[in-house]
Amino acid sequence: MSLFSGMRGKDKTFRAKKHIPERTHQHRLQKYAEVTLGSGNLKLAVQLPEGEDSQEWLAVHTYDFYNQINMLYGIITEYCTPQRCPVMSAGARVEYRWQDNKQYKKPTTVSAPHYVDLLMNWIQGQLEDNDVFPSQLGAPFPKNFSSIVKTIFKRLFRVYAHIYCHHLEAIQQLNAEPHLNTSFKHFMYFVYEFKLMDKSEMQPLAEKITNVLGDEYVLT
């Protein structure tokens, strides 16, 4: 079951969807995740299945959220332009600068669409690197895998934050707000379950997190 069923009229993506290689353990885990997601209990769906490896589970959901956010951003690309969004931000007080230690060795101000493009390209490179996201069962994950995943999720959160803070009206006009909220709720349950972000990083959407997840998720 897809979180985006019913979005047929606007299901374009910002980048090509990334697929986990078939006939791999991660692909089977992905199918299991889809089934549990279909139960409608997002909080339960993010929990690690009994007997499974947590790194495999993190890898599967990194693919999933990359694709979800890719689709959500894809529907508002005509609204998110360098002219309208010259800075990648979440409101007037929060700016996100890009750094990859290669082309951008220092945090650099870029437009929102350029930031998202750089981000998706960077994540795609991580997903396609078999030394980082091994597809064979039993193949070792790198020692810094947890750190890599946390960086990916921290940066993906910024796309949600930009959409909510700057493009919510467009999302509402496209009747896509329920899909955005469901995707964000799924994402945040997963973040909390595996402690992937610091509370300070969530502050731009503190009120939205409480509204979507409930009062037990108040950021202090």
| Backbone dihedral region for residue 156 (phi beyond 0: left; psi -120 to 50: alpha; all else: beta) | alpha
pLDDT digits (tens, 9 = 90+) for 86-111: 999 999 999 999 999 999 999 999 99
pLDDT for res 45: 87
What is the average per-residue pLDDT within 115-129? Answer: 96
pLDDT digits (tens, 9 = 90+) for 149-173: 999 999 999 999 999 999 999 999 9
Domain ranges of the chain: 8-84+114-217
Residue 162 is labelled as binding a ligand: yes
Residue 165 is labelled as binding a ligand: no
192 vs 81: CA distance, rounded Å: 32
Q: Which fold has domain 8-84+114-217?
A: Butyryl-CoA Dehydrogenase, subunit A; domain 3 (1.20.140)
